[in-house]
Amino acid sequence: MSLPSHEVGFHSPSGSDPGWATERFTPCVRERGREESAAPVSAPLLATPTDANPTPEPTSLEPELTPPEAPARSWMRWLLGAVALLPGLIAVVQLGRIHPDEVYQSLEPAWWRVHGYGVLAWEWREGLRNWAVPGVLAGFLKLADLLGITHPRAYRVLVALPQVALHAWSLWAAYRFAQRRAGTLGGLLSTLLVGLYGPVLVFAGRTMAESISASLLIVAVEALDRRARLARAGLVGGMALGLAVVARYPSAIFVLAALVWLAAARQWRLLAFTCAGGLGVAVALGALDWATWGSPFHSFFAYVRFNVLSGKAAAQFGADAPSFYVKPLFTAVPLWAWAAVPVGVAALRRHRAVSLPLWCAAVYTGVLLATAHKEERFLYPGLMLGVLAAAPPVAAGLVQLARPTRRWGLAGLALVASLASAAFFPSGDLRADQLRAIVAATRGNARGLLIVNEGLWGSGGFFYLGKRIPWLTCDWPHDGAFQRALRDRTFNRAVTFEDRALDELQAGGFHIVRKVGRETILSRE
């Protein structure tokens, strides 16, 4: 089964000044040394809104607890809740972004919806995206406005709330999935292995399509793994699968894989209700596109035409051999997960079947390998389902060890291995110091901002400025944007990466205010 899918990469602008609505300037193209896209395309405009066979689960979510068990269950919930908070807390404190899409496909469109101005990437002019995720974020931004919250860090906390709730739901689903296979203690350890998995800590709190979709996929596969209340399980699973596609269209691959798995398992009732739940989400997506783009499913069809049928994605953003994913896969998979391979092989020989999350992860990864345009971040949803499938047998084996020192020592090592994965995946620079510097530079009486040694898509947009002031990006002192900012005293703030053009900025009247990591903030009056 193959459903080719490409993801839109990021690209450099060619002629739009995000700070001015009535004039056009040519921002500088970033150097390849900092991994800006090599192929420029049309610039964004400042716009105005016109396991194989699942084991039966208990019939109730909360089994009756004996008095000694109740405090333990309460303690466990607090622990899982704290783990669920970590990715969002990291994202808000650290700032930065995994990829420009974190800003320009979610946060910036939401800002545009609420405030009537912002940088819209080309996908939003040509209708390759739907407004579901930005619409939800826009609601929280509007709430921030009503509460008088104007600092970017403060309203970023508010915007993080729905994603924190979604991630908490996905971890509870991961616990339920694991508890059926490894018991209560094994389920808890399994969930910690998933929740403290390095890529989860990096991705799950960020407004990436991959992040949101992966959380919904975990909810979906847990629901479809149930053997009781099949109608409810199917509806929940189908809706979660549908929402995963709404958040990220390539996740349709997971939907097709899940439906094939249910059919092969002869789970006809569950399959029917799954389709019904998914159909409801599809109808809602069609209505949303009709209201925002003028025709039902406009964004889905436009996305498929560009990324699948036309070959434009590979032509515009590059193509790579399947070997591109070898290093990211081997560095992202935690060491403990390889211990689940013999268990999986034995189950395959015994039952001639694989678990739903493992099947979906395998199909999805196979499609990625066959797809021309490749990016490291595309692996994240498949990695999440693979780790979800691997954690329960590993946790069950650990908690059954007779010697406590060996049991908990190995469990601790497994958790360390989960955390250590963050050092390797994702491999790119999050540029967290840059966005923190931009936020700091634009407080107070900032009237205009010059960002040196960065391109438009590497900046934080108006979302991280938090105000309507002109701003320019450039790479070198001889660039037009740099020269214009020096002449125009409106630009009284500057941020430069690794002290690029520092002497020229000081000669133009700027003085150093402070350092933020690799960034230098300058000011002039």
Strand residue runs (E) in 386-516: 449-452, 471-474, 493-497, 511-516
pLDDT the model gives residue 171? 97
Check residue 246 and give left, alpha or beta (phi > 0: left; psi -120 to 50: alpha).
alpha
Which among 397, 281, 278 is positioned nearest to 337, based on CA atoms? 397
- Cα–Cα distance for residue pair 327/424, rounded to 1 Å: 10
Q: What is the mean pLDDT of residues 155-177?
A: 96
* Residue 389 scores a pLDDT above 80: yes
pLDDT the model gives residue 159? 96
Percent of the chain clearing pLDDT 90 (strictly above): 72
**Higher local confidence (pLDDT), 24 or 168:** 168
pLDDT the model gives residue 318? 84
List the structure tokens of 363.
């199909």
- Cα–Cα distance for residue pair 394/187, rounded to 1 Å: 10
The pTM for the full model equals 0.84
Query: Cα-flanking dihedrals φ and ψ of residue 45, to 5°?
Result: -110, 150
* Residue 417 scores a pLDDT above 80: yes
pLDDT band at residue 458, thresholds of 50, 70 and 90? confident
- Cα–Cα distance for residue pair 228/199, rounded to 1 Å: 32
Residue 166 CA, chain-centre distance (Å), reads 12
Give every CB contact of residue 426 below 8 A, 6+ residues apart in sequence: 98, 199, 202, 203, 376, 377
Give every CB contact of residue 326 below 8 A, 6+ residues apart in sequence: none
Give every CB contact of residue 487 below 8 A, 6+ residues apart in sequence: none
Angstrom CA distances, 382 to 15, 145, 339, 506, stand at: 37, 37, 18, 49
Q: What is the mean pLDDT of residues 323-331?
A: 93
Residue 283 CA, chain-centre distance (Å), reads 25
Task: Give the dihedral sign, CA 266/270/274/275.
Answer: positive
Of 18-32, 50-64, 511-525, which has the strongest mean pLDDT?
Answer: 511-525
**Higher local confidence (pLDDT), 1 or 96:** 96
Which among 265, 6, 233, 1 is positioned nearest to 128, based on CA atoms? 6
- Cα–Cα distance for residue pair 245/214, rounded to 1 Å: 10
pLDDT the model gives residue 313? 82
pLDDT the model gives residue 72? 53
Check residue 27 and give left, alpha or beta (phi > 0: left; psi -120 to 50: alpha).
beta
Task: For residue range 184-220, list pLDDT tens digits in order.
Answer: 999 999 999 999 999 999 999 999 999 999 999 999 9
Q: What is the mean pLDDT of residues 172-178?
A: 96
Query: How would you classify the pairing of strands 511-516 and 493-497?
Result: unpaired
Report DSSP letters for 54-95, one per residue.
PPPPPSSSSPPPPTTHHHHHHHHHHHHHHHHHHHHHHHHHH-
- What is the DSSP-derived secondary structure letter of residue 58? P
Query: Is residue 52 within 8 Å of residue 347, measured between CB atoms?
Result: yes
Q: Which residue has the tokens 């990291």?
A: 90
Query: Is residue 194 within 8 Å of residue 167, measured between CB atoms?
Result: no
Query: Is residue 340 within 8 Å of residue 389, measured between CB atoms?
Result: yes
pLDDT the model gives residue 457? 87
Task: Give the dihedral sign, CA 192/197/200/202.
Answer: positive
- For the chain, helix, strand, coil in percent to 5 are 60, 5, 30
Q: What is the mean pLDDT of residues 277-301?
A: 97
* Residue 28 scores a pLDDT above 90: no
Q: How far apart are the first and last CA of the chain?
A: 63
- Cα–Cα distance for residue pair 248/87, rounded to 1 Å: 20
Q: What is the mean pLDDT of residues 163-169?
A: 97
pLDDT band at residue 71, thresholds of 50, 70 and 90? low
Task: Give the dihedral sign, CA 254/256/259/263.
Answer: negative
Provide the angle, in degrees to the nearest 10, between the axes of the packed helices 380-399 and 152-195: 50
Alpha helices by DSSP H, 226-337: 230-247, 252-264, 268-293, 298-304, 312-317, 326-332
* Residue 12 scores a pLDDT above 70: no
Q: Which residue has the tokens 């924190």?
A: 164
* Residue 331 scores a pLDDT above 70: yes
Query: How would you classify the pairing of strands 519-523 and 493-497?
Result: antiparallel
List the structure tokens of 89.
């807390």
**Higher local confidence (pLDDT), 170 or 308:** 170
Sheet holding 449-452, edge to edge: 471-474, 449-452, 493-497, 519-523, 511-516
* Residue 35 scores a pLDDT above 50: no
Angstrom CA distances, 234 to 170, 227, 240, 321, 431, stand at: 17, 10, 10, 38, 41
Identity of residue 398:
L
- What is the DSSP-derived secondary structure letter of residue 105? I
Task: Give the dihedral sign, CA 28/110/6/216.
Answer: positive
- What is the DSSP-derived secondary structure letter of residue 521? E
Angstrom CA distances, 454 to 12, 104, 369, 438, stand at: 11, 15, 31, 12
Average pLDDT along the chain: 86
Query: Is residue 332 within 8 Å of residue 386, measured between CB atoms?
Result: no
